[in-house]
Amino acid sequence: MSSTLDSLPPALAKIVQRFQRASEPKRRYEQLIWYAQKLKEFPEANKIPENKVPGCVSQVYVTATLDDDHVVYQGDSDSQLTKGLLALLVEGLNGLTPTEIVQLTPDFIQETGLNVSLTPSRANGFYNIFKTMQKKALECKLEQ
């Protein structure tokens, strides 16, 4: 186990470990599709420009709300793999405080092994989704 894994929030560390066990790129993609299918239904009404992730080839939407000082994300994408990346982040970051989310760095993607299988545009999309989620967590905190 690396120090990066030790410093991750428990839900995110569990996801990273799940991907580490999937040694082949095909298995990692299957894992992403599985996450995509687990993602809760995203209301059509939330598919508005303010919730759109900038810089993604796919259409990606994210919302964040605060529930007792903990961020709750929802999201959707028109691409299954991108939706899987989004779902991975939703599951890994939901329930954290805005401060915990803002302090995270996206380098845990290297720990999953996904970075070697992702196309440059998908890797960039992952980063943009992550940054948007951090920005929305910060906005939640500022609205308190």
**What Cα–Cα distance (Å) separates residue 9 from each residue in 6, 63, 69, 119?**
8, 20, 16, 27
140 is catalytic: no
Please pick, among 13, 15, 32, 56, the residue that the annotation labels catalytic. 56
Q: Is 1 helix (H, G, I), strand (E, B) or coil?
A: coil
Concatenated DSSP letters for 96-114? --HHHHHH--TTHHHHHTH
Residue from 63, 66, 113, 17 nearest 9 by CA: 17
The catalytic residue positions are 56
